[in-house]
Amino acid sequence: MTTVKSGMTTLTHFIGGEMKAGKSDRFGKVYNPSTGEVTALCPYASADEVNETVEVAHAAFAGWKNTSVGKRVEILHRFRSLLVQETDKLAEMIGLENGKTISDAKGEISRGIESVDFAINAPQMLKGEYSVNVGGDINAYSLKQPLGVVAAISPFNFPVMVPLAMTSMAVAVGNAVILKPSERVPNSALFISELWKKAGLPDGVWTIINGDKEAVDAILRNPKVHAISFVGSTRVAEYVYHEGCRNNKRVAAFGGGKNHMIIMPDADLDQAVNAFLGAAYGSASQRCMAISAAMPVGEKTAEVFVQKLRTRVKELKVGAYNDEQADFGAVITQESKDTILKYINESLAEGAELTVDGRNPEICEKENGFYLGATLLDRVTPEMKIYRDEVFGPARIVVHVNSLDEAIELINSHEYGNGVTIFTESGSAARKFTEQIEVGMVGVNVPIPIPVGYHNFGGWKRSKFGEGHMFGPDTVRFFTKTKTVSEKWPEAKAKDHKTEFAFPSNN
C-alpha cells in the first residue's frame, strides 16, 4: 500500500487495480488526531493525473457494463464478506486517522455495510417496465443502463460509511467509480480498494485518486465523468454542484446541517437527555446529522432539562481513539479545534451562558492531540453566530422557546434543513411537527434520524444541492439512465402501405 519517502510513509493512489505512486510531487500531511503526530504523506494528484485516471476507468467501463448483473452481485457478496472479516482492522484505521473511538468506528462500518446489502438487490432494482399493445400492435418497455464513469468525493468524518453509501450501488448497476476520499483520511479508502480487488472486481472499475481542490476541479471538468456525488461543507457542496452542472454533469452535493432537538413539556426528560448526549457529542460532534441545538419548550422544561443535562455532560470523557473508557475522541485537526474555540468564545461575548466548559479538558494538559471536552452553552439566541453556523465539534447549545409553533418557525427559517427530531408523548404534537417542518430527515423520539440503507438520505434547503439521494432506491435512478423502447413486429409485409402524417396515437 505504501512506499517510503524521506523517512516518512508516503501513500499512493489506486489506479487500474494497482497501488500507484503520485507524480505531482505535492503531498499533504495525515495526522493521528489522538496524538497530533504526522503519520503519513498523502499524494495530491495533478489535473493531468486525474485525466489519465479517468481514461483508465473509461476503458474498464465497457466490460463491466456488459457483465451480467448476477455476476456483479456475486462480487458484491464477496466484498461484503471481506468487509465483515476485516472490520477490526478497518476500525483501527478509522480511529488512527479520524480520531473517533473504536466502538464508534465499528458502528460506522456496520452502517456502511447496509449500503452494500442494498446494492446486492440491484437485479430487482434494475427491472424495467413492460406494456403489451399500447396501440397499433406496439409493445413498449423501459430499461436502466449505467452512466459510465462516475465520481464520489467523500468527507473525513465517515471514512468508510459515506464512501460505501456513495459507491456501492454505482458499482452494482455497472458504472466505473472514481473515489476522491478526504485527504485527511486516505488509508481506509485504499484498504477498501484491496478488498474490492480480492472480491474479484475487474481492474479499473474501482479507482482511488487522492488530492485537494486541483483534483476535484479536474473531476468536475472532465467530460467523461458523468455524475458526481459529494459530501462536505455547504460552501464546497454549492461550488461542486454549480461547477458540475455547468459542465453538464449529474450532481448530488450534500452539505452541512444545524440539527435541532425539540423537547416538549410532556417528554420523558431523562430519555431526552440520554438521547441528546449520544446524538450531540458522539464522534466529537463531527457528524452532519449530529444534534446541534436542544430546543426545550417552556421555561420549566428548559430549567429541568438543562439541570439534568449539565450533570451528564460533565461526566463525558474525551480520550484517544483506542481508550475504551472514552465517550468520544479528538477533533480532526488543530485548525478545527481552534475554529470551535473561536465559536465558543464569540458566543460568550454575545451573551450565551457557559453551562459546561470543555475548553480545557484535563487530557489537553498531558497530550498533544486535538482534544476538546464537551461544552454546553445555554440561552443561545437565533442571532448568534454559533446558532446560525454549523459547528463541527463538541460545543452544543440550548435555545429556549415558548411553544411548538415558535420552534417550528425558527427551524424552518434556518438556512439548513438536514435533520431534526422531537421528543414527546403526544401523537398530535408529533403529527403537527412532521407535517409542518421543512427538513429532509425527521425523527420522533429518535435522536439521529439517519435512514437505513434502503431508504433515501438527504436534507433540504442549503443542506443538499441537486435531486439525488445517497442511500436508498434513488441511488439507482441517480447512477443510471432510462431508455424507453417501442417495438412492433408485423406478421407479414403490409400490402396496403400508407404514410401517416398525423401525430401517432392509439385511436
Q: Give, for all 507 residues of the chain, the pLDDT tens digit.
A: 444 444 578 999 999 999 999 999 899 999 999 999 999 999 999 999 999 999 999 999 999 999 999 999 999 999 999 999 999 999 999 999 999 999 999 999 999 999 999 999 999 989 888 999 888 888 899 999 999 999 999 999 999 999 999 999 999 999 999 999 999 999 999 999 999 999 999 999 999 999 999 999 999 999 999 999 999 989 999 999 999 999 999 999 988 888 999 999 999 999 999 999 999 999 998 888 889 999 999 999 999 999 999 999 999 999 999 999 999 999 999 999 999 999 999 999 999 999 999 997 776 556 789 999 999 999 999 999 999 999 999 999 999 999 999 999 999 999 887 788 999 999 999 999 999 998 888 889 988 777 766 667 676 687 778 887 777 788 899 999 999 999 988 876 666 667 778 777 766
**Based on the domain organization, do 222 and 358 belong to the same domain?**
no
Calpha distance 109→161 (Å, rounded): 6
DSSP 363: G
pTM over 0.85: yes
Provide the residue range defining the domain that includes 421: 259-444
What the block records as the C-alpha cell of 302 is 428548559
**Based on the domain organization, do 413 and 469 belong to the same domain?**
no
CATH label of the domain that carries residue 238: 3.40.605.10
Residue 282 located in a structural domain: yes
* 3-state secondary structure string across 389-426: CCCCCCEEEECCECCHHHHHHHHHHCCEECEEEEECCC
**Based on the domain organization, do 425 and 474 belong to the same domain?**
no
**Based on the domain organization, do 301 and 217 belong to the same domain?**
no
Calpha distance 421→411 (Å, rounded): 11
Residue 367 located in a structural domain: yes
Q: What is the pLDDT of residue 135?
A: 83
Residue 451 located in a structural domain: no
**Based on the domain organization, do 205 and 275 belong to the same domain?**
no
**Based on the domain organization, do 43 and 149 belong to the same domain?**
yes
**Based on the domain organization, do 301 and 263 belong to the same domain?**
yes
**Based on the domain organization, do 323 and 238 belong to the same domain?**
no
Q: What is the pLDDT of residue 52?
A: 96
| Total count of domains within the chain | 2
Residue 36 located in a structural domain: yes
Calpha distance 339→331 (Å, rounded): 11
* 3-state secondary structure string across 155-182: CCCCCCHHHHHHHHHHHHCCCEEEEECC
Residues designated catalytic: 288
